[in-house]
């Protein structure tokens, strides 16, 4: 329910928006007619030089420069005896070729001069296989488009037809494995809300092909991506949400790596560019289940419900492990204390949970509700993200009009106007009007959001959480949100430029995705020793030894964020370099008409969901098995947890391998045999390490399951029967069965 305080702040924002927008429209009309004649001819002038078609071979690359303004790039897969396949169309819609030069056939640089510059560098990377320990070489090509005009738009297309199966990119709500069938319009490559049909909460600029290609885009590139069944399109352009005010040259840089073995190539990418965890999370989060209040109780939690929940876990002889007190334990969002109407004596409640041998975590987020007095306090002290209305509106208008871009850029670089510009900057910084707090509408109403680029805000938030942890004897926290789409419109950070390490240099750039990066880093810093925390966002944070939770899953059987989407989501996170994956609630979140209403998942769906989770990196309950009043469901749950207990050592050993080698915990079948086409498209089985294969039932009313076994020999853990690999077999299943096979070696 929105109260008067929220409407007050909302009304203030609307009032100022309307005044400023009206004024900008008037300025736009005056500027447009005043300068149109003067700049019309200049804006239309273009270089129109063409070159005859030519072609080259450069290591495994094949070039064709054609008279229709295209540069066609092909990659030759000679180790697999493949023909040349078209991989990319480089900036084909933008620029005409002036010259093309190979500086020296013996060195590894090609330089193509167009209206802008394209440089391609080649390097041999010597690597060592983590399995065979043998050395191998990888071809690495670095593509660098550069322009002295930072407003230049670069556009390269990667061909998806006849280039193998592709994996990677951002997480999605409707997940495909491989991703060749995925379709999306152009959008910024930053962590966003997958529920809004955007790129999801974990977003990395990395793609992998089964033909032995890896594509990696520099983290500082202002990257937009669109994709259909034919092309993966990479667009580099400084426009919302990327802002660049330093007038430096625009560089669009990415790398293509090639090696015959997709698995070894992927590990090269992990160890060289993406990063691997520096340690494992607390081993208890791997071996023991998590019990959450969210899916069962939603926001309707209190002391009595939580204690009854814990006592029922003990009574039913389930593991006394970790309880997460989820949404709505505070009086207002952002007030870091318990709501005394719901929790009259929170210390007593937590003491009772500890006496029952439970660890306790709390759900938190970066939002400060407008209802909270903390909102005014944080705003006055400059700890919230503010709004930069004038600058942001100028950006939105100018970036859609090339004519205005010329006018505006000339105005800013003209020394005659520097005094006027500095005067406006002074007014801009001093007047109160320009420091309105940014208001965002998240799933729990209107709120401000803490500015983690402000070191004071960051340190105060950490100290407040550590005080809360110590005062109530809390073990750790569940960090929710952190995606860029929850930032207020016209956001203005305290530190408007972030210093980040790019592939070849250190550069300053305003990339809103770094808010997600800072939030995840903060979550880890809360307690670097007791690593029980979890986050749900990822952007260049593969090194953190904490769990990453996948987005809330819906309680259905489908690929549309249901049970069938769970394994593809986990595979995708694994490929992006996040091995410690926390699957969401068993059975899904049980949403009704709204996210605060509860609808109990179907009984069979709940059982199959539980069986799928049996050997994933972590297992999380909210709807308890006894909620169905069915002894069979309880018996199946105990059976699954006993199987998990049997393989505790393998779970922990596989987690250690992630730290040592960069391998994922949960692996698609092709990780065992990268050349097996059946394994490359399998999305309903998974492997824990290299020796355990799990084939869960993912469809309703299934009594006979078709299981594909990759190369080698496999032993059923129940019957000890041996099966040959590289074949499909029919396996009879009941509601209680979860097929598991162990690699058999004589």
Residue 171: partners with Cβ closer than 8 Å, 6 or more residues away: 194, 199, 200, 201, 202, 203, 550, 551, 569, 572, 573
Q: Are residues 544 and 462 in the same domain?
A: yes
Check whether 555 has a pLDDT greater than 90: yes
What are the structure tokens assigned to 305, written together? 């419900």
Q: Are residues 348 and 473 in the same domain?
A: yes
Beta-strand relationship, 620-621 and 581-582: unpaired
Among 4, 10, 5, smallest CA distance to 438 is for 10
Average pLDDT over residues 133-158: 84
- Is residue 399 within 8 Å of residue 239, measured between CB atoms? yes
527-549, pLDDT tens digit by residue?
A: 888 899 999 999 999 999 999 99
pTM: 0.86
**Would the CA dihedral through 562, 567, 570, 572 be positive or negative?**
negative
Tokens 């209403």 belong to 597
Among 652, 671, 651, 675, smallest CA distance to 663 is for 671
**pLDDT range class, residue 492, cuts 50, 70, 90:** confident
d(CA 410, CA 360): 59
Domain contains 18: no
Give the DSSP per-residue string, 229-286.
SSEEEEEE---TT-B--S-PPEEEEEEEEE-S-HHHHHHHHIIIII---SS---HHHH
Domain end residue (candidates: 255, 274, 293) = 274
**pLDDT range class, residue 46, cuts 50, 70, 90:** very low
Q: Are residues 69 and 163 in the same domain?
A: yes
**Would the CA dihedral through 674, 677, 680, 682 be positive or negative?**
negative
Q: Are residues 266 and 364 in the same domain?
A: no
Beta strands in 129-249 (DSSP E): 135-147, 154-159, 166-168, 184-188, 206-209, 213-217, 223-227, 231-236
Q: Are residues 267 and 298 in the same domain?
A: no
d(CA 596, CA 328): 11
d(CA 74, CA 86): 4
Domain contains 664: no
271-313, pLDDT tens digit by residue?
A: 999 999 999 999 999 999 999 999 999 999 999 999 999 999 9
Q: Are residues 456 and 583 in the same domain?
A: yes
CATH number at residue 615: 3.20.20.80
d(CA 368, CA 379): 10
Residue 648: partners with Cβ closer than 8 Å, 6 or more residues away: 287
| Helices (runs of H) and strands (runs of E) counted in the chain | 17, 39
d(CA 585, CA 625): 12
Q: What would the 3-class secondary structure string for 361-396 be?
A: EEEECCEEECCCHHHHHHHHCCCECEECHHHHHHHH
Check whether 350 has a pLDDT greater than 90: yes
175-222, pLDDT tens digit by residue?
A: 889 999 999 999 999 999 988 888 999 999 999 999 988 999 998 899
Beta-strand relationship, 722-724 and 686-688: unpaired
Domain contains 391: no
d(CA 448, CA 609): 37
- Is residue 458 within 8 Å of residue 452, measured between CB atoms? yes
**pLDDT range class, residue 89, cuts 50, 70, 90:** very low
Q: Are residues 221 and 290 in the same domain?
A: no
Q: Decide: residue 51, CB within 10 A, 0-12 exposed, 13-18 middle, 19+ buried.
A: middle
- Count how many domains the chain has: 3
d(CA 738, CA 507): 51
Residue 668: partners with Cβ closer than 8 Å, 6 or more residues away: 177, 571, 574, 679, 680, 682, 683, 686, 687
DSSP code at position 720: -
689 is in which domain, residue-wise?
677-744
Segments in 2-140 forming alpha helices (H): 4-44
Residue 580: partners with Cβ closer than 8 Å, 6 or more residues away: 277, 280, 281, 545, 546, 547, 548, 617, 618, 655, 658, 665
Q: Are residues 468 and 516 in the same domain?
A: yes
What are the structure tokens assigned to 218, written together? 């520099």
Domain contains 630: yes
d(CA 78, CA 80): 5
676-704, pLDDT tens digit by residue?
A: 999 999 999 999 999 999 999 999 999 99
Domain end residue (candidates: 274, 294, 328) = 274
More confident residue, 140 or 108: 140
**Per-residue pLDDT, 596:** 74
Domain contains 394: no
- Is residue 358 within 8 Å of residue 312, measured between CB atoms? no
308-327, pLDDT tens digit by residue?
A: 999 999 999 999 999 999 99
| Packed helices 603-612 and 566-575: angle between N→C axes, nearest 10 degrees | 20
Segments in 585-724 forming alpha helices (H): 603-612, 631-646, 648-661, 677-681
Q: Are residues 448 and 547 in the same domain?
A: yes
pLDDT mean across residues, the chain:
82
Give the DSSP per-residue string, 417-482.
GHHHHHHHHHHHHH-GGGGPBP-EEETTEEEEEB-TTSHHHHHHHHHHHHHHHHHHT--EEEE---
Average pLDDT over residues 336-350: 95
Domain contains 414: no
d(CA 739, CA 742): 10
Domain contains 213: yes
Average pLDDT over residues 29-54: 40
Domain contains 665: no
462-488, pLDDT tens digit by residue?
A: 999 999 999 999 999 999 999 999 988
Average pLDDT over residues 386-410: 64
The total number of residues shown for the chain amounts to 746
- Is residue 286 within 8 Å of residue 321, measured between CB atoms? no
Q: Are residues 295 and 338 in the same domain?
A: yes
d(CA 663, CA 144): 30
Domain end residue (candidates: 251, 274, 297) = 274
Q: Are residues 531 and 579 in the same domain?
A: yes
**Per-residue pLDDT, 43:** 36
CATH number at residue 712: 2.60.40.1180
Q: Are residues 164 and 231 in the same domain?
A: yes
């Amino acid at each position: 329910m929105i109260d008067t305080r929220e409407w007050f702040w909302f009304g203030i924002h609307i009032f100022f928006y309307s005044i400023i927008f009206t004024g900008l429209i008037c300025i736009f009309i005056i500027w447009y007619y005043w300068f149109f004649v003067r700049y019309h001819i200049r804006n239309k002038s273009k270089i129109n030089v063409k070159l005859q078609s030519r072609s080259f071979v450069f290591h495994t690359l094949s070039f064709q420069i054609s008279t229709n303004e295209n540069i066609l790039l092909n990659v030759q897969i000679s180790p697999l005896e493949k023909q040349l396949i078209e991989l990319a169309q480089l900036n084909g819609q933008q620029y005409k070729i002036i010259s093309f030069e190979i500086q020296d056939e013996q060195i590894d640089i090609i330089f193509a001069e167009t209206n802008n510059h394209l440089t391609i560098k080649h390097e041999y990377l010597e690597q060592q296989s983590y399995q065979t320990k043998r050395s191998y070489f990888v071809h690495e090509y670095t593509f660098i488009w550069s322009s002295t005009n930072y407003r230049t738009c670069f556009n390269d297309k990667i061909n998806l037809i006849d280039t193998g199966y592709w994996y990677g990119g951002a997480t999605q709500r409707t997940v495909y494995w491989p991703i060749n069938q995925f379709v999306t319009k152009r959008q910024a490559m930053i962590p966003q809300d997958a529920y809004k049909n955007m790129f999801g909460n974990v977003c990395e600029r990395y793609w992998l092909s089964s033909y032995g290609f890896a594509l990696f885009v520099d983290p500082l590139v202002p990257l937009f991506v669109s994709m259909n069944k034919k092309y993966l399109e990479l667009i580099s352009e400084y426009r919302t949400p990327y802002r660049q005010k330093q007038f430096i040259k625009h560089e669009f840089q990415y790398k293509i790596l090639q090696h015959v073995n997709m698995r070894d190539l992927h590990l090269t990418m992990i160890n060289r560019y993406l990063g691997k965890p520096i340690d494992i999370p607390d081993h208890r989060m791997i071996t023991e289940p998590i019990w959450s209040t969210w899916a069962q109780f939603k926001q309707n939690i209190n002391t009595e419900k939580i204690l009854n929940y814990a006592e029922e876990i003990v009574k039913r002889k389930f593991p006394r492990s970790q309880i997460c007190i989820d949404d709505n334990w505070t009086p207002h969002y952002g007030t870091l204390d318990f709501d005394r109407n719901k929790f009259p004596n929170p210390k007593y409640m937590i003491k009772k949970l500890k006496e029952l041998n439970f660890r306790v975590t709390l759900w938190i987020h970066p939002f400060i509700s407008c209802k909270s007095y903390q909102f005014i306090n944080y705003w006055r002290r400059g700890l919230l993200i503010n709004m930069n209305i004038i600058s942001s509106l100028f950006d939105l208008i100018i970036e859609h009009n090339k004519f205005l871009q010329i006018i505006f850029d000339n105005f800013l670089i003209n020394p005659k106007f520097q005094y006027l510009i500095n005067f406006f900057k002074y007014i801009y910084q001093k007047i109160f009007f320009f420091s309105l707090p940014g208001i965002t509408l998240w799933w729990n109403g209107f709120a401000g959001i803490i500015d983690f680029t402000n070191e004071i805000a960051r340190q105060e938030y950490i100290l407040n959480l550590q005080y809360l942890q110590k005062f109530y004897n809390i073990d750790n926290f569940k960090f929710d949100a952190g995606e860029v789409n929850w930032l207020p419109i016209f956001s203005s950070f305290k530190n408007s430029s972030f210093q980040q390490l790019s592939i070849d240099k250190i550069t300053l750039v305003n990339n809103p995705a770094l808010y997600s990066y800072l939030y995840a880093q903060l979550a880890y810093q809360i307690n670097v020793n007791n690593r029980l925390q979890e986050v749900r966002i990822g952007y260049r944070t593969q090194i953190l030894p904490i769990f990453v939770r996948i987005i809330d899953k819906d309680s259905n059987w489908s690929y549309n964020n249901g049970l069938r989407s769970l394994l593809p989501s986990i595979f995708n996170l694994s490929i992006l370099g996040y091995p410690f994956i926390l699957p969401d609630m068993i059975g899904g979140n049980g949403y009704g008409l709204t996210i605060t209403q509860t609808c109990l998942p179907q009984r069979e769906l709940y059982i199959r969901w539980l069986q799928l989770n049996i050997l994933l990196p972590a297992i999380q309950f909210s709807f308890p098995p006894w909620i169905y009043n069915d002894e069979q469901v309880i018996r199946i749950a105990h059976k699954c947890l006993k199987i998990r207990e049997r393989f505790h050592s393998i779970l922990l050993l596989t987690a250690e391998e992630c730290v040592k080698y960069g391998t994922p915990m949960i692996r698609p079948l092709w990780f065992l045999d990268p050349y097996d086409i059946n394994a490359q498209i399998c999305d309903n089985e998974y492997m824990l390490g290299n020796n355990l294969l799990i084939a869960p039932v993912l469809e309703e009313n299934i009594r006979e399951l078709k299981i594909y076994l990759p190369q080698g020999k496999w032993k059923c853990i129940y019957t000890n029967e041996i099966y040959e690999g590289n074949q499909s077999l029919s396996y009879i299943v009941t509601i209680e069965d979860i097929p598991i096979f162990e690699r058999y070696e004589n």
